[in-house]
Amino acid sequence: MMSVPMEHGMTLVALLWAVGLIGLLARRNTLFMLMSMEIMLNAAALAFILAGSHWQQADGQVIYIVIITVAAAEVGIGLALLIRLRQHIQDLNIDNLDRLKG
Amino acid sequence: MTLRELYLLSPVIILGLGTIILMLQAAWKRQPWLAQSITVLTLMATTAFLIFEFPQSTTPITLLFEYEPIGSFFALLVLMASLSVALLQGAYMGPNSAEVAEEFYLLLLLSSMGALLLVMAQHVAGVILGVELMSLSMLAMLAYNRERKLALEGAIKYLLLSGTSTSMLLFGFALLYAASGELNLTLMLAADMTPMSEAGFVLVLIGLAFKLSLFPLHFWTPDVYQGAPVNSTLLLTSVSKAAVFAVLLKLLLVIPEAFEADITRMLSWMAIASMLLGNWLALRQKSIKRLMAYSAIAHMGYVLVAGVIALGIDHSLVLEGASYYLLAYLIASIIIFAVITYMSQLDAQEDLDELPKLQGMFWQHPWLATIMALAFLSLAGMPITVGFIGKFYLLTLAVKLSAWWLLSAMLVGSAVGLYYYLRVVFALFSPQQGAIPQVAGYSVSKVWTGLIALSLILLGVLPGIIGDQLKTILSIG
């Protein structure tokens, strides 16, 4: 079986992660920011699969499953917070969250 | 897994059992005082196990965890903080709160369990599970009062930024794994360092520095601290800092020689910047929670100094210093937040933490004001308090290593810190202005706060009580 060279894979991971980061910084809608965060988490998870296949170990995939599980829990709480946000300010725009400063 | 390993895993198992019992209790019959008692008993049982079975050497528990002295000491710190939060919650919530009571204790137990897993971790999977269990349950606690708008704002900021930092942490671990083919923390760093693994290690440090709110990653701290209900803030400032610092310390102790110089330089600058910036920004704060946030940034800078020195020399002394300093910080934070907790209500839109509102507190609540003043003096590093001994340890270490830059930043930071800590103390003792609310405290939590306050003085006068213990337990590990 031909495996993907490490450099190519890591470049993909870094790009995906950068896409997530740019999304987080540029988006104003909290839901999309949450999605961008997920992209970053999944980029990191993909890196584990890549490394696992490079070393011919199953461990990378095990960690991947752990990360997916954890990310699901994170989104669960995140969406609950978004529902509260929507009820408070009828909007998901992050710029409205500016009352804490100093 | 052998029977011995299962036995050594007991702290986590006890906490897990407590969590399950609490869930069943909440499903069967809601009763806040019962939930609180179950939580306190569970935490005390865990503490008792850790004290009586304190490890003399490192024992691996399966691939993922290990039972060893450094982690166990930090686990004790974590449990002390969780116990305080559990005891304070009863009075803070009051008998007729609009929020549900049991879930707070449930989340508290889960987050202590995460912290315990984190300090015991020796494998990447253990770190991920621990960090996430701890910070996700904390996240839910930060927004526990659903009607408080500021708490929601703080929680959302924490959610987005903490997710980002977690992804950096994971990315870093993935790079280290790709370079070494090992997922064990020690073996992972023992392999040859390539540019890829160096980048990975730096990313891991950044991920951890976020949780410790060190300099370039400190922006979330004040907002989250001020927004959250004060009891959750206490948990955030104590449990998560202590547990994450334990992991950082463990990683720094096994870092390869070739990479030490670069990391020392990076961490020194982070520590210096945190100390100066944290103290500087705290000067203008009126809200005590916000002041404590900046003070946390500064104090994590001080503790990081110990981490930096750990790279240089004599590991056991450094561990002793760092542990003592963190203990001192925890004791002082618990007292300060406990006093604010007594005066505030969870159901209110805001906690009573504005300095002008607390003016002249001494004339109405002499004991509370006195211990709060003592705690602030301890944070400032005044003699006869535990904070002085902590600072003394760090200064001695820094002098020993001739780390002059670190030393001068520490001194300047302390001098600036003294000013704003004393400002709070003066405000507490100045003539009373407005009405200060009555305190509805439960006797058990008052006794506990008193004990903590007593230990603040006792450990400051007789540092040997804990210092000698620390020396023996840490030198073996």
pLDDT tens for the 477 residues of chain B, in order = 788 888 888 999 999 999 999 999 989 988 888 888 999 999 999 999 998 888 888 888 888 898 888 888 899 999 999 999 999 888 888 777 778 888 899 999 999 999 999 999 999 999 999 999 999 999 999 988 888 888 888 899 999 999 999 999 999 999 999 998 889 888 888 888 888 888 999 999 999 999 999 988 888 999 999 888 988 999 999 999 999 999 998 888 888 777 888 888 888 899 999 999 999 988 888 888 899 999 999 999 998 887 787 676 656 777 888 888 899 999 999 999 998 888 888 877 778 878 888 888 888 888 888 999 999 999 988 888 888 888 888 888 888 777 788 888 888 988 898 888 998 898 888 887 777 777 766 788 888 888 988 888 888 888 777 777 777 766 654
Q: Give yes or no for a contact between B352 and B344, defined as CB atoms under 8 angstroms apart.
A: yes
Contact status of B166 with chain A (Cβ, < 8 Å): yes
Model confidence band, residue A73 (pLDDT cutoffs 50, 70, 90): very high
Is a pLDDT exceeding 90 seen at residue A90? no
Nearest Cα residue in chain A from B162: A37
> What residues of B are in contact with residue A22 (Cβ under 8 Å)?
none
Strand partners, A29: A93
- Separation in Å, CA of B324 to nearest CA in chain A: 32
Q: Residue A1 above 60 pLDDT?
A: no
CA dihedral B231, B158, B424, B269 (to 10 degrees): 130
Q: Which of B461, B324, B333, B331 is nearest to B385 (CA)?
A: B461
CB-based contact (8 Å) between B164 and chain A?
yes
Q: What is the ipTM of this complex?
A: 0.94
Is A100 in contact with B196 (Cβ distance < 8 A)?
Answer: no
Contact B87, B40 (CB under 8 A): yes
Single pTM value for the model: 0.92
What is the least distance, in Å, from the CA of A63 to any CA of chain B? 6
The DSSP code sequence of B212-274 is: TT-GGG-THHHHHHHHS-HHHHHHIIIIIHHHHHHHHHHHHHT--HHHHHHHHHHHHHHHHHH
Structure tokens at A88: 């408070």
**Angle, in degrees to the nearest 10, between helices B404-429 and B288-312:** 160
Closest by CA to B302, choosing from B388, B226, B402, B377, is B388
Give the end-to-end CA distance of chain B in Å, rounded to a whole number: 23
A60 interaction partners in chain B (CB closer than 8 Å): 177
Contact by Cβ (8 Å): B379, B385: no
Number of other residues whose CB lies within 10 A of the CB of residue B168: 24
Q: What does the pLDDT read at residue B314?
A: 59
Suggest the residue from B149, B177, B221, B350 to mutate for an interface test with chain A (most A CBs closer than 10 A): B177
Nearest-by-CA chain B residue for A49 = B174
Q: Contacts of residue A58 in chain B, CB cutoff 8 Å?
A: none
Q: Give the helix/strand (H/E) hosting A15.
A: helix A6-26
Q: Looking at residue B173, what is its pLDDT?
A: 94
Positions of E strands within B80-229: none
| Separation of alpha carbons B177 and B125, rounded Å | 12
Percent of chain A residues topping a pLDDT of 70? 96
- With CB atoms and an 8 Å threshold, state whether B163 touches A73: no
pLDDT of residue B356: 80
Q: What is the band of A102 on the pLDDT scale with cuts at 50, 70, 90?
A: low
CB contact under 8 A, A41 and B163: yes
A67 falls in which pLDDT band (50, 70, 90)? very high
Nearest to A54 by CA among B191, B170, B197, B178: B178
- Residue of chain A whose Cα is closest to the Cα of B228: A100
Q: A12, A41, A81, A87: which to substitute to probe chain B, counting the most B Cβ within 10 Å? A: A81
Q: Do A73 and B136 touch (CB under 8 A)?
A: yes
- Residues in chain B with CB shorter than 8 Å from the CB of A34 are 159-160, 163
Residue A96's closest chain B neighbor by CA? B153
Q: Touching check for B161 and chain A: CB below 8 Å?
A: no
The phi and psi torsions of B294 (rounded to 5 degrees) equal -65, -35
Taking 3-state DSSP, the helix, strand and coil percentages for chain A, each rounded to the nearest 5, stand at: 80, 0, 20
Q: Which residues, at least 6 apart from B110, have a Cβ–Cβ distance to it below 8 Å?
A: B19, B133, B137
Among the ranges given (A16-25, A31-40, B125-134, B449-458), the one the predictor scored with the smallest mean pLDDT: B449-458
The answer to whether the CB of B50 falls within 8 A of the CB of B79 is yes
- Chain B residues whose CB is inside 8 A of the A85 CB are 152, 156
Note whether B408 contacts A: Cβ–Cβ < 8 A.
Answer: no
Tell me if chain A has a CB within 8 Å of the CB of B347: no
Single-letter amino acid code for the residue at B340: I
Report chain B residues whose CB lies below 8 A from the CB of A99: 149-150, 153
Give mean pLDDT, residues A71-96.
Answer: 86
Report CA B434 to chain centroid distance, whole Å: 33
DSSP A71-98: HHHHHHHHHHHHHHHHHHHS--BGGG--
Q: Report the amino acid identity of residue B351.
A: D
For residue B126, what pLDDT is reported?
Answer: 93
Residue reference for tokens 């001739």: B402
- DSSP single-letter state for residue B99: S
Nearest CA in chain A to B285: A102
Residue B110 · residue B50 · CB < 8 Å:
no
Q: Does B167 touch chain A (CB under 8 A)?
A: yes
Find the radius of gyration of the CA atoms of chain A: 17
